[in-house]
Structure 1
Amino acid sequence: MSRVTGGTGGGGASGGASDARARLLGTATEIFYAEGIHSVGVDRIVAEAQVTRATLYRHFSGKDELVLAYLAGADSGIRAQVAGARAGADTAVERLRAVAGSIAEGIRSPGFRGCAFLNAVAEYPDPAHPIHQAVVAHRRWFLETVTELLAEAGCLPADRAGRHLVMLRDGAMAAGCLGDPEAVAETFLGAVEGILQGGL
């Protein structure tokens, strides 16, 4: 899970205001990811961030905007992770393996609790809700990105391979916080290798 360092919402001109916003968002990120969103109230976030309730509402219009900032930070972190993996590889196949490797590394990481976006959408099932829409937008980007990588690697039809890879990732994310993360990560990497070898 990528840690949030930015996001949406109001910003302050002074260092103190920026520090307070960062504490709020950092605290919310840790708790939302570890415990869920609906189970965490604003009062707890304010208390653990050591700010006043008024300070929270100076930076965020409400809890929903704080959740959107949390997801925006997660989205930025994953995009950076994928960009870094792609930049460090020379061929299309190596780039895809690097992206898969970064996913496996996340599954193995301490405190892993599945996909932040799948966790969030389970709590916000209404397709019209902005938080649901933020999840859909992130997943659309990820599907388009892996489909592009698969096409470059010669895995055709790339759209089908892309959907397959995203489903494998979703399953690995769920299994990784329920079973043995190492075994799940290795199984996921093996399945991706199967796609690269044409085994759809």
Structure 2
Amino acid sequence: MKVSEPRERLLRTATRLFYAEGIRGVGVDRVLAEAGVTRATMYRHFPGKEALVVAYLEHEDAAIRGLFAAAAEQASAAEATPRDLLALVIDGVADDATRLHTRGCPFINASAEFPDAAGPVRAVVRRHRDWFRATLTDLAAAAGAPDPAATAASLVLLRDAMLVGNYLDGRDVAADFRATARGVTGLD
């Protein structure tokens, strides 16, 4: 399937602006102007702004899933243990918060702007968080954690705190996340 370059440009622009300035704070006209596409082009690909927001969050979800896939590939190439893979994931999550997501969690930010828990935006957030938690549970189980679900819940909480802390405190808290996450998972 051929990817539409104007659609991708629109999505890249929306992703950058929505994450940097907030979803409600960025109008469709600005996204269109900065992406260099017409309103008709947008509506050909997205029925409205909310659909563009859903695509933005799905893009963020795919990037985080890619982080996990890269860690798994790296672990496989090194013939690493499940504990090594869990350590790689922790490092990848910390690196993501330091390099890419310095303005908090895109899913938490979107949830704050779209409070309807039954709406399409929150459905994407819920799917992402369910996947994230389930994947961490599987990794913790493979690594031999005594209570994989509790370990995963702690890692989700720590990631949320790290992303918010990086933004609100104006300093890199990734080292704190790594140390605490390694302690929670028994990797220390």
TM-score (norm 2): 0.92
Q: In the TM superposition, what are the counterparts of 1:75-114 in structure 2 within 5 Å? A: 75-89=61-75, 90-109=80-99, 112-114=102-104
Shift of 1:138: 0.3
Q: Distance in 1 between matches of 2:54 and 2:130?
A: 17
Q: CA deviation at 1:198?
A: 8.1
* Structure 2 CA distance for partners of 1:111 and 1:131, relative to 1, 3 Å: closer
1:190 aligns with 2:179: yes
- 1:118 aligned onto 2:108: yes
Q: Is the 8 A contact 2:101 2:163 kept in 1?
A: no
Query: How many residue pairs were aligned?
Result: 184
Distance 1:188 1:147 in 2: 18
Contact 1:38 1:123 (8 Å CA) reproduced:
yes
Q: Retained in 2: the 8 A contact 1:155–1:161?
A: yes
Q: How far apart, in 2, do the equivalents of 1:140 and 1:110 lie?
A: 22
**Contact 1:155–1:196 (8 Å) recurs in 2:** yes
Stretch deviating more after TM superposition (135-144 or 151-160): 151-160
Partner of 1:171: 161
Counterpart of 1:154 (choices 144, 161, 178) is 144
Unaligned runs of 5+ in 1: 1-10
- SS of the counterpart of 2:117? coil
**Distance (whole Å) between structure 1 residues aligned to residue 96 and residue 171 of structure 2:** 9
Q: In the TM superposition, what whole-angstrom CA distance separates every residue of 1:74-110 from its partner, at most 9, and x where no partner exists?
A: 1111101111112212111111111110111112216
- C-alpha distance in 2, partners of 1:98/1:188? 13
Q: Is the 8 A contact 2:87 2:187 kept in 1?
A: no
- Asked if residue 135 in structure 1 is aligned to residue 125 in structure 2, the reply is yes
CA gap of 1:128–1:98, structure 2 versus 1, over 3 A, is same
SS of equivalent to 2:169: coil
Between the two proteins, what is the percent identity of the paired residues?
A: 44
TM-score, normalization by structure 1: 0.86
Runs of 4+ with deviation above 4 angstroms: none
For 1:165 and 1:74, the matched residues in 2 are separated by 19
Q: Letter of the 2:181 partner, please give it.
A: V
Q: What amino acid sits opposite 2:161 in the alignment? A: G
Q: Write the letter of the residue equivalent to 1:159.
A: A
Contact kept, 8 Å, 2:83 with 2:187, in 1: the verdict is no
Match of 2:6 in 1: 20
Structure 1 residues 60 and 110: alpha-carbon distance in aligned structure 2, compared to 1, 3 A threshold: closer
